[in-house]
């Protein structure tokens, strides 16, 4: 068991070997640990305690099996909530040269650290089954490290590679499941937003009003529209309102009433928006459609006259 290889925690401890070091810690007397950083990669596996872990500016509550992938140079520390409970974890340190050597052999090993840098998050949870599997792999590394077996170095390289692949697979699956769920939720919200806008073109459709109606932030709504339409919600709303204006113009409403009905502050702003969108003024649009309608009626009358003559 890992407890058999328990190490005494030393806040000033630094990596001594050239490749990696691994420690199983169980502390019963807890003292505050200041923010600190290392010049090596750290794989932190949480086992027990009531605490959060601060990495950079982010603070993460910890549960059994949580993994923290801490790159070189990033400040971190535990933040204890209850000092009466023991604090257990396993820490694996990898020197940059050793880490790079492993990644050169198998580039997939860098996935977790690369993703952490990309999303500015170095904390990754795991379910109970995965946590127990990772714990078993860590114990195997500890045991192999402390035995004098043939082919020890090669075995340790394989064990650490297997551990990192298992961690990365867990991170990849959870991250992509989360993204898929978010994408589905965003698609549903986007559809509802479009339906709401189309049904309320003559109402207050300011970003504040829409955000209030859907109980989501203005930023979130803007982000969803940009992702799904490639244009801002303001641009989308103006296009839909101008389309509605065309129908109202052809129904005989005055230009002033049309502009007021669809949220334009005055006729001048309506005129400019309409001409920019369609290349002609509202008046030119109306006249062109009157002529087109008259021409169409004349053609229809001619055909009917020829048929029923």
All structural domains of the chain: 2-181 (2.60.120.280), 200-301 (1.10.10.60)
| Alpha-carbon gap, residue 178 to 90, rounded angstroms | 27
| Alpha-carbon gap, residue 100 to 209, rounded angstroms | 52
Structure tokens at 39: 């010049």
| Alpha-carbon gap, residue 244 to 262, rounded angstroms | 8
Give the per-residue pLDDT at 3. Answer: 55
Give the per-residue pLDDT at 299. Answer: 37
* 270 closest CA partner among 287, 288, 252, 283: 283
| Alpha-carbon gap, residue 215 to 38, rounded angstroms | 43
pLDDT average per 10 residues of sequence, the chain (309 residues): 54 69 92 92 97 96 96 96 91 96 95 94 94 96 93 96 96 80 74 88 86 86 84 88 90 89 88 91 87 47 43
Give the per-residue pLDDT at 174. Answer: 87
């Amino acid at each position: 068991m890992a407890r058999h290889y328990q190490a005494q925690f030393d806040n000033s401890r630094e990596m001594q070997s050239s490749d990696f070091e691994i420690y199983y810690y169980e502390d019963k007397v807890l003292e505050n640990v200041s923010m600190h950083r290392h010049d090596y990669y750290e794989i932190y596996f949480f086992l027990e305690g009531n605490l959060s872990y601060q990495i950079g500016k982010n603070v993460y509550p910890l549960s059994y099996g949580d993994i923290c992938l801490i790159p070189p140079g990033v400040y971190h520390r535990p933040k204890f909530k209850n000092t009466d409970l023991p604090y257990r974890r396993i820490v694996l340190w990898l020197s940059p040269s050793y880490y790079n050597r492993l990644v050169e052999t198998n580039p997939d090993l860098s996935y977790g650290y690369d993703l952490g840098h990309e999303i500015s998050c170095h904390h990754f949870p795991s379910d109970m089954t995965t946590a127990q599997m990772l714990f078993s792999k860590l114990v195997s590394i500890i045991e192999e490290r402390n035995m004098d077996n043939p082919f020890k170095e090669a075995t340790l390289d394989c064990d650490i590679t297997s551990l990192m692949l298992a961690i990365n697979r867990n991170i990849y699956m959870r991250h992509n499941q989360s993204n898929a769920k978010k994408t589905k939720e965003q698609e549903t919200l986007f559809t509802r937003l479009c339906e709401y806008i189309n049904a309320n073109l003559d109402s207050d459709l300011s970003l504040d009003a829409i955000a209030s109606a859907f109980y989501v932030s203005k930023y979130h709504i803007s982000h969803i529209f940009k992702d799904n339409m490639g244009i801002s919600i303001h641009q989308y709303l103006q296009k839909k309102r101008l389309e509605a204006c065309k129908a109202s113009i052809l129904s005989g409403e005055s230009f002033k009433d049309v502009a007021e009905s669809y949220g334009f502050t005055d006729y001048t702003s309506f005129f400019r928006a309409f001409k920019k969108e369609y290349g002609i003024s509202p008046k030119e649009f109306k006249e062109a459609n009157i002529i087109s309608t008259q021409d169409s009626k004349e053609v229809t009358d001619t055909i009917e006259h020829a048929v029923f003559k």
